[in-house]
Every structure is written in structure tokens, then in C-alpha cells.
Amino acid sequence: MDWDNARIFLAIYRAGTLRGAASLLNIDQATVGRRLAALETSLGARLFLRTPSGYVATPAGELALTAAELMERAADQLQREMQGIDNRLSGVVRVATSDTMALNFVVAAMQRLHVRHPEIRVMLSTSNQISSLTRRESDLAVRTLRPTSPDLISRRLTRRFMGLYASPAYLRERGEPQRDTGMAGHDVVRYQSSEAPRHAEKLCGESIANARVALEVTSGIIMQQAVREGIGIGELPCHMVDGDARLTRIWPDRGEQYEVYLVMHEDLNRSARVRAVADAITESVPDK
């Protein structure tokens, strides 16, 4: 199995469909199908079962997975090491963060970076999903979780707080919720469970067992707008919404704190362009 075919195999295994694999690799679906057929022929084994719900690995496929992932780690390590000794202040750097942190300071950091080093091109991805730095899905990430992998290094950027908010119109109509009632009689806006599992039961430590879930979102920006529109009570970052006349904080003494970290793979700490992006982000965090 060569690395090109291993990439195809891993993409199908992870996506579960030829279309999903093609999207991951940015190639057409027909090419994925041809390469898989050629790989199975060369190995003399069926790697996937074609089921109505997608492609499921056979026992031979599960065995091939171990070898393919070893090849992936070796290829990624080689690329990181080559990038790590690159002293050019040009080229592409992949940055991952959430949409709220991008709006708050990361985009400002990119403007600062562009003035200093216009030949560095940033690919900025915004999602609450944690991207993999070890698989080169990103070179840098701004996260609210400190990584545990020994291959990753992190720098604490700041501490932030979340609070419960509603629109003035919502509170005029529905009143303020009573503490320790599970938000009985109230509507809430929360993240989908894939984005923030803790929201399934609580917002800012307050149970929502008796609330009606009016809207589930995957975006912090949409969350803010939904609460402004009076759809329900939501958990929002205090530093971004305090002072917004369209929002009123409920129970100012009740909140959640979190840390913000800048994370990168240790191999990239020596790359000039990655360091330049990291420095710009660090300098742009307001009120450290």
C-alpha cells in the first residue's frame, strides 16, 4: 500500500461514503472509487462492505487501518519537521478557532499579521469542533480546552466568563426564571450536543431539566442573535455581550469561567511563519 492509496482508504474509513471521502480530499468521487478498487485488487482483499448506510470496514480493512494510520503519522511528521525548519515568512498557515473568538480577536490578529507579513496566507476555519493538529487539519488552534497530547504545546491566552442572558422583551413577557427550578416555564437556546455536550443538562451550572428547548445551534454568533431576538435564555460570553442593550444578564452572580489557549504541534514551534501567526494572535487578545 503506497501513501496515496492509504490516504484514499483513510478518507473512506472516516467519512463512510465515497462522496464524503472525495470532499475530505478535495477530489472527485469517481477517482475515489477507482483508487479504492485498484487498492483492493492490489491487496487481494475486500476492505469495505457496501451497506445502505455507507462503507463499513471488513476485518481486512480494520487490519489495513493500523498500517495506514502509521503511514499517515509518518507523513505528517515529515511535513511538520520540514515546515519546522522553514525560516520563510511566507506560505500557508492553517488556523482553527470558534466563530466567537474569531470575531472577538482572531480576525484582528490576522489584520495585524497581514500588515507585518503580507506573504503569509492564513486559512481560517471557524467551528466549535476541535480540529486535529496531529493530522495537520490545522497548524494552530485557539481553543477553550487545554490539550493533553504530549506532542502539543499550549499557551494560556486569557480567562473568560459565561453568563445567562435574555432579551428585555423576553423578560417583560415571561419574567425572570426562579433559581433551582430547572428553568421551569422558560425557553432556552443551547448548543447541539455534538458541539457542547454539557448543554444537554445545564447552562451556567443551572439545570434546564424543566425548560423547553426552543432552538439548538452550532454557532456562537447565531446563539447571540437568537437570544437577542427573544427566542429564549442562553449562555453567552460576558466580554462580548455586556453593554449590549438588546441583552439583559440574568443572575449576575451565576456564571461559568473558561480558559483560552493557543495550541500548536511542537514540531511547528520552529517555523517562522507559524510563529509569526502565533505572535499576532497573542498580541491581539484584549484585556489579557
**The domain spanning residue 230 has which CATH number?**
3.40.190.10
Banded model confidence at residue 198, pLDDT cuts 50, 70, 90: confident
CA–CA dist 172, 278 (Å, integer):
45
Interstrand relation of 54-57 and 48-51 (parallel, antiparallel or unpaired): antiparallel
Model pLDDT, residue 200:
82
What does the alpha-carbon distance between residue 72 and residue 74 come to, in Å, rounded to a whole number?
5
For 24-52, what is each residue's pLDDT tens digit? 888 888 888 888 988 888 888 899 988 88
pLDDT at 135 > cutoff 80: no
Same domain? For 178 and 195 the reply is: yes
Task: Report the pLDDT averaged over residues 272-281.
Answer: 93
pLDDT at position 35 is 87
Both 238 and 175 in one domain: the answer is yes
Do 164 and 236 lie in one domain? The reply is yes
Same domain, 96 and 169: no
Give pLDDT tens digits for 93-133: 999 999 999 999 999 999 999 999 999 999 998 876 655 55
